[in-house]
Structure 1
């Protein structure tokens, strides 16, 4: 088992680093919380949960510059390829293996479209990812509401770390995210997708108190640019 470094880039964007670097939902340009510029990121893999601008973000620009592997749901991959950048499509329940890293696509309850140049394109369905890296299992829920099959995700993949949205309005709020933790039972949870904009402002300390009062899961509140290690 190898150490994995997890860096929060604000909103739902994370960089996982072990033998390879995995960048998830690279919303960097236009993200007021982002601690880096897109040009500073050189991932081996980009995983995109869905086509909304605040998740799809700088995927095409980073992919074009670095030549990295881009993994997304089939329709998002087709859109990326239409822009002259290679991407690999998959769907829920499937797993893609990339140089020792396993990316399994899970359910997410949300909407999905690709917003670009004033137009909206078919973005397929929203998704989450279980990422097997360095012998660890990490669950990035994407944008989602709570759903009962999160219990199956916990049973099947036993994620050590869950990255869960708490911002409310467009995703789970604190109450729903607490139930998600109860269903998944990860060792550690990191809240995300909150307070990037006023409309999703939340107090992560309230989430931490609620979780740690009810389940045996550690809540780590990260600051943009901050890293933790598994």
Structure 2
């Protein structure tokens, strides 16, 4: 599978011939100033929760690309009100078959609200299964024993976990999460964007390696290939 990193928790994966984009937050991220959102391709946009650093560029990218936007019931209603033309509700526990594969939404232990403070629904993660491979994006979350169920839903080729701590899992918990879902390949997100989630990247990679887990921290704009 082809993985492209756009900074913070925004990334895309080419799977089943479709471009899947997650949590678009680019124009508000100074670290991603070299990314032109007009060049980002998307067939689907998945939104894990309603915080500004996960939804900021959803409507603009959806309007240009015609991508289907998928998220919880509250996000579905919100984006409909924002004029997004193609939306699909998917709450934790729900599963849907699409033209690239199957998506199952799972619970994430995290708060979720819009910028005005209104409720944005339950935070989610997503399990994606396709002919090209399977992956788990936890969304913003704490470590939770619910993650032990992930391996029963799919064999996970790689996982995308937040590692910045303070607002989400930190390094130790993300390592444990990888063990829970039984993967040795992790891509880290949700770090360095703000002062309180900065990490020592080299030290973090070493910590994962000590647990026999390969952590990749691609630079913003990098495109990498992940084998099954």
Scaled by the length of structure 1, the TM-score of the pair is 0.92
How far did 1:217 drift?
2.6
Could you tell me which of 24, 31, 34 is aligned with 1:33?
31
What's the secondary structure of 1:143's corresponding residue? coil
Kindly indicate whether the alpha-carbon contact (under 8 Å) linking 2:178 and 2:184 is maintained by their aligned counterparts in 1.
no
**How far apart in 2 are the matches of 1:150 and 1:140?**
11
Partner of 1:58: 57
Aligned length: 223
What's the secondary structure of 2:96's corresponding residue? strand
How far did 1:155 drift?
3.3
Kindly indicate whether the alpha-carbon contact (under 8 Å) linking 1:45 and 1:68 is maintained by their aligned counterparts in 2.
yes
Partner of 1:111: 111
| Unmatched tracts of structure 2, length 5 or more | none
What's the secondary structure of 1:171's corresponding residue? coil
Kindly indicate whether the alpha-carbon contact (under 8 Å) linking 1:73 and 1:91 is maintained by their aligned counterparts in 2.
yes
How far did 1:183 drift?
1.2
Matching of residue 76 in structure 1 with residue 60 in structure 2? no
Partner of 1:226: 222
Q: CA RMSD in A?
A: 1.4
Scaled by the length of structure 2, the TM-score of the pair is 0.92
Matching of residue 164 in structure 1 with residue 161 in structure 2? yes
Kindly indicate whether the alpha-carbon contact (under 8 Å) linking 1:76 and 1:114 is maintained by their aligned counterparts in 2.
no
**How far apart in 2 are the matches of 1:173 and 1:217?**
15
How far did 1:221 drift?
2.2
What's the secondary structure of 1:122's corresponding residue? coil
Kindly indicate whether the alpha-carbon contact (under 8 Å) linking 1:9 and 1:33 is maintained by their aligned counterparts in 2.
no
What's the secondary structure of 1:167's corresponding residue? coil
Higher alpha-carbon deviation: 178-187 or 156-165? 178-187
What's the secondary structure of 1:50's corresponding residue? coil
How far did 1:160 drift?
0.7
What's the secondary structure of 2:77's corresponding residue? helix
| Unmatched tracts of structure 1, length 5 or more | none
